[in-house]
Each structure stands twice: as C-alpha cells, then as structure tokens.
Amino acid sequence: MLKEFDLKKDIKLDFTSGWSYDPAPESTDHVHIKDQYDHFIGGKFVAPQGGQYFDTTNPANEKKLASVAMGCDKDVDAAVKAARTAYDKYWSKMSPRDRGRYIYRIARMIQERAREFAVIETLDGGKPIRESRDVDVPLVAAYFFYYAGWADKLQYAFPGGNPKPLGVAGQIIPWNFPLLMAAWKIAPALATGNTVVLKPAETTPLTSLKLAEIIQEADLPPGVVNIVTGAGDTGASIVNHPNVDKIAFTGSTNVGKIIQKSIAGTNKKLTLELGGKAANIIFDDATIDQAVEGIINGIFFNQGHVCCAGSRLFVQEGVADIIRDKLIDRMQSLIVGDPMDKNTDIGAINSKEQLGTIQRYLEIGLNEGNEIYQTKCDLPDKGYWCCPTLVANVSQSSRLVQEEIFGPVLTIQTFRTPEEVLEKANNTPYGLSGGVWTDKGSKIFNMTNKVRAGVMWANTFNKFDPTSPFGGYKESGLGREGGLHGLYPYLKF
C-alpha cells in the first residue's frame, strides 16, 4: 500500500487544513483552437494524404481539443521535398543577415502572442499555466532571439572554419516542453541556413501548429519550416527519408537507440537528447531552506516531466532528518490540480499511458519493499493525476533509482562522504544533469567535475539559458543543444 504522510507526526505546518487560495483560473477567451489541423507543408496547411486524423485531448479533463492530421510516408516525402526546394531556391541563397531578420520576426511575434501560446500549451499538455507563462514561452522567445543573433556571425563562432549549412534537418520532439523543444530545434537550424521538417509529439501538437501560423504570418519563404504531425511511424518516416541530412531527436532512450541504428551507415548527422536520472546532492553545509526549494523545483514542478529532473535526492547524513522534515512540509503545501489555475504547482500527467507508467513504477517500488509516501491531495474527478511522491528506504540497485520514471516521484538516499555520493550519483545508465548544494566553492568544483553529467547546477536547479549548452553522456544522448555549441550540429566545415 502507498502510505500517506501522517499529518500529525510529519507535518509542522498543515497547509491543507488551515487555508487555501481562491481559484484563479486563466481565461481562454483570447485563444482560438480550430476543430481540425492539417500539416504545414510548403507554407500552406495541407490535408494528410492518407486522409486520417487523430484527436489531441486535454489531460486535465480528458476532453478533445482538436483533430490533427496523421502523417504518412507521402506527407513526409512532400515535406522533405518542400524543405529541399526552399533550401535550394531561397534559404541557402539569402544573406545571413536577412535570415536573422526572419528569425527575429518570429521571436517578436511569439512575444506578442505569448499568452495564447501559454494557454494552449497548458490545455494540450497539462502543465501549470504559471510554468507555461513564466518559463516555457519566455524561453521560447529567448532561444529565437539568441539564435537570430548568430545568423550573420557564424564566422566569429567558428573563426577560420568557413561553416556551411547541411541542407534539410528532420526534427522530432517530445511532449514535456512542446513549444520550447520546437524552438531548440528550429532556431539554430534556421540560423545556420538549414531548412526544417519538424514532428511534434502526438499528445502535444497544438503549439507547434500555432507556431506554423506565426511562421506563415512572418512570411518566411514557403518550405523553410514544415510541420508534419503524427505518431512514432511518422517520426520513423522522417528518420528514414533518404533526402534528410540531419536528424535532431529529443525523447526516450529506447527510441533514440532505434534512430541511431536506423541511420547507421548513412551520411546523416545526428543529435540525441534522451532520458536522465539526475542526482541532486545536498551537503551538510548547504543552506537548508534554499536546498529544499531546489529539490521541490527540481522534481515536482512540471509533474516531473523533465528529462533533467532531480529525481534522485542524496542528503548528507548530518542534515538528513531536517531535510526530510522540511521537504515533507513543503510537499504538503504543493497545490495539485487544474493546470489553468494560476495557483497550481503540479498539473496533470500528460497522458493516460504516462500515468500508467508512473503507477507501474510505484508498484515495482512497493514490491521491492521501499517505503512510498504520497501527499494527500483533492484531485479532480477526470484527468490524469499523480500526487507528489517520496520513496524512502530505497537501495542503489532499485529500479526506481536506476530508471527514468518521468513523474513527480523522488527517491531519497543518504551519504557520508563525497566519494560515496560520487560513486552513487554516477551509478546509473544516464548522464544528463545533476545538482550540488554546498557553501564551499571548492566542493562545487570537485563534484561538478566528477559527476558524469552534461549539465550541473550549483545551489540551484533546472535553470535554462539560451547561451548554455545542454546535452548528456552515456544513455542520455549525443551532441549539445543551446549556446554556441548548438550551432555546430547543423554545420559542415
């Protein structure tokens, strides 16, 4: 059985029974979602050649939002042809400065329609509106602005290198940061002079399709950006298309491996941003309250739907009890529910399938004999939900410590020495991100050099910036996105 926290014993401040915020729902009046969306190919919205559509639903109430075109091989072929024509005819011939101007225009239009994007992201994906509004959409604009700036400065990024675009980039993205992942993919590809065929995830296609409307309004030459919707088969069709020069994929490690095998022996360039199992390491000289907030931010906000989520907590023994108590207090105060409410901390799990995955992991944890605690929360009748969950008494070999769960589930382990925690932190198949909390700069440098992760945060967690590269080691992927490093995979020298 999953245990609920014992309120009397565990909770110093019981927010759940004392008071609560009045509802503060974000309005949807200014948002227009069409009943049906087609592919965006060659600058126009075109019906799928197979004639099929699928539903995209709101995971917070299970209501259908729109029908979306199901892409088949012929649609992908049309999109790749449009991208190739646009590359040969317009984009590769245009001056870098003019390419940059188009990207700046997209960035500004995203800012102008920021609320609309935030609301659609939340309706389609289930993440809290506060997150979409304050994190996702501002970062989307920031990535477009940042890469727009590089468009006419590539010779300074790679002095003496004479960089050239690759041609057509096939880009496949997941459902956890739908619009932000589209920005991470499209902005550097365009800035380096490539054209694009992008496929959003099947559960969150709507913001990419809204972005297509902006791209149309921005008057980008037809075919520079093409968006084909669909599921795994549509993605595979992009990966296997012979006229695609580069694949950029963000998603699960399993699919990443399939893609790597499919393109082995071809000339296609590849970047993979895959799973993670970040260690969040708290030393006994850390600022405790700040660290607790960092732990919460690292795993619970955005429902743990973050590949770099701080899903493994390591606490030095001297502060283990106080951290645990404060963490439980804070977990109890998290508001789980309607993602459109501005007070909500934890929204809906993105899909029924993902909720099933999380629940299966909790069962595995119980069978392994772990102690699993969940906060008590009033959940809506419909939709997919998971209350914040803490897994204690867990061993290093537990599947909950080793495998990516992609939900609001935090394992907690203790350690005595830096050597011990390093050993444990590095003992997973992943190497995407991690965090270290300490008062000592020397300890920060020691740990961040030795934890085998592409991204390390010190005394903070889950902070993003367009100028910083992001990417992993081991089964977390290949290549870097973001920053100057993010230009490189789209260029040949």
The residues annotated with a catalytic role in the active site are 273, 307
239 binds ligand ADP (CB under 6 A): yes
227 binds ligand ADP (CB under 6 A): no
236 binds ligand ADP (CB under 6 A): yes
The helix (run of H) or strand (run of E) holding residue 457 is strand 455-458
Contact 365, 394 (CB under 8 A): yes
Nearest residue to 165 (alpha-carbon basis) of 195, 199, 145, 186: 195
Distance of CA 142 to the CA centre of its chain: 16
387 binds ligand ADP (CB under 6 A): no
Closer to ligand ADP by CB, 59 or 174: give it.
Answer: 174
Closer to ligand ADP by CB, 70 or 255: give it.
Answer: 255
Distance of CA 97 to the CA centre of its chain: 30
Contact 46, 39 (CB under 8 A): yes
Site string for ligand ADP, 169-188 (x = CB under 6 A): ---xxx--------------
Among 126, 251, 310, 483, binds ligand ADP (CB under 6 A): 251
358 binds ligand ADP (CB under 6 A): no
Closer to ligand ADP by CB, 172 or 405: give it.
Answer: 172
Contact 307, 204 (CB under 8 A): no
Contact 274, 307 (CB under 8 A): yes
CA 109, 99, 114: angle at the middle one, nearest 5?
15
> Read out DSSP for 242-288?
TT--EEEEES-HHHHHHHHHHHTTSS-EEEEE-----EEEE-TTS-H
Among 96, 232, 418, 469, binds ligand ADP (CB under 6 A): 232
Site string for ligand ADP, 201-220 (x = CB under 6 A): xx------------------
197 binds ligand ADP (CB under 6 A): no
3-state secondary structure of 329: helix
Size of the site for ligand ADP (CB under 6 A): 16
Among 7, 114, 258, 366, binds ligand ADP (CB under 6 A): 258
CA torsion through residues 207, 213, 215, 217, sign: negative
Among 16, 28, 216, 252, binds ligand ADP (CB under 6 A): 252
Closer to ligand ADP by CB, 146 or 249: give it.
Answer: 249
222 binds ligand ADP (CB under 6 A): no
478 binds ligand ADP (CB under 6 A): no
Nearest residue to 294 (alpha-carbon basis) of 44, 461, 149: 461
Among 165, 167, 235, 383, binds ligand ADP (CB under 6 A): 235
469 binds ligand ADP (CB under 6 A): no
> Quick one: which segment of 48-56, 71-79, 229-237, 392-400 binds ligand ADP (CB under 6 A)?
229-237
191 binds ligand ADP (CB under 6 A): no
Angle between helices 96-112 and 114-125 (to 10 degrees): 70
Closer to ligand ADP by CB, 66 or 244: give it.
Answer: 244
> Quick one: which segment of 189-197, 230-238, 374-382, 390-398 binds ligand ADP (CB under 6 A)?
230-238
Burial class (CB in 10 A: 0-12, 13-18, 19+), 29: exposed
> Whole-number minimum distance, CB 357 to ligand ADP, in Å?
8
Residues of this chain, 133-172, that bind ligand ADP according to CB under 6 A: 172
3-state secondary structure of 406: coil
Angle between helices 96-112 and 178-191 (to 10 degrees): 160
130 binds ligand ADP (CB under 6 A): no
CA atoms within 13 A on the CB side of 72: 8
Residues lying near ligand ADP in the complex (CB under 6 A)? 172-174, 199, 201-202, 231-232, 235-236, 239, 251-252, 255, 258-259
